[in-house]
Amino acid sequence: MEITNYVVLAAVLFAIGATTVLLRRNAIVVFMGVELMLNATNLAFVTFARLHGDLTGQVLAFFVMVVAAAEVVVGLAIIVTIFRTRRSASVDDVNLLKG
């Protein structure tokens, strides 16, 4: 199979993730969009590593995974704190700061 297909797939996944972030209202779903973007990046890294025949890309994918995990820890903590205060995880309800 043509290796560029994987790159195209990565780009499509990334675009879906970005659209999710921009359009969805629930903070958890927005956050899932970000995770999808990061995983699309991993796919691109691994594909390019295969293409170039070196391991750097595969190692980088691990770095991205670790960073994504750290981001989940902090992000969910913030979202859960807000949910406990307001009983809602909608980003539309988070609107006290304006102007």
Partner 1 sequence: MTTFVPPEIDWLALAPLIVVLGAGVVGILVEAFVPARARRTTQIVLALAALAGGLAFVAVLWPQIVAQPVQVVGGSVTLTPFALAAQGIVAVLAFLGVLVVADRTSTGQDAFAPTASAVPGTSYEDLARRAGLVQTEIYPLLLFATGGMMLFASTDDLVVMFIALEVLSLPLYVLCATARRRRLLSQEAAAKYFLLGAFASALFIFGVALIYGFAGTVRLLQIAQQVQGGMLPLEGMSVLLVAGVLLVTVGLLFKVGAVPFHAWTPDVYTGAPTPITGFMAACTKAAAVVALVQVLYRTSIGVQAVDPQILRQLQVVIVVVAIATMVVGAVVGSVQSDVKRLLAYSSIAHAGFLLVGIAGFNAQVQASTLFYLLAYGLSTVGAFAVVTLVRERRVASGSRSGEDNGPVADDGVVLGEATEIAQWAGLGRKAPWLTAAFGIFLLSMAGIPLTAGFVAKFGAFSGAVTGGLWWLAVLGVLASIVTVAFYLRLLVVMVFRRADDETVPEQVPDAEDLDASETAGASGGTAPAALATAQVTAAQRVVVTVARSRGPAAVAVAVCAVATVILGVFPSPVLDLVEQASKFVP
Residues contributing to the site for partner 1 (CB under 8 A): 7, 10, 14, 17-18, 21, 27, 30-31, 34, 37-38, 40-41, 44-45, 47-48, 51-52, 54, 56-57, 60, 63-64, 67, 70-71, 74-75, 77-79, 81-82, 84-86, 91, 94, 96-97, 99
Q: With 0-12 CB in 10 A as exposed, 13-18 as middle and 19+ as buried, what is 87?
A: exposed
Nearer to partner 1, 1 or 73 (CB): 73
- Smallest gap from Cβ 46 to partner 1, in A, equals 10
Contact yes or no for 25/90 (Cβ under 8 A): yes
Q: Describe the chain by its helix, strand, coil percentages, rounded to 5.
A: 80, 0, 20
Amino acid identity, residue 12? V
- Smallest gap from Cβ 1 to partner 1, in A, equals 17
| Residue reference for tokens 């958890």 | 28
- Smallest gap from Cβ 5 to partner 1, in A, equals 14
- Smallest gap from Cβ 66 to partner 1, in A, equals 8
Please name every residue paired with 90 in a beta bridge, in sequence order, or none if there are none.
26
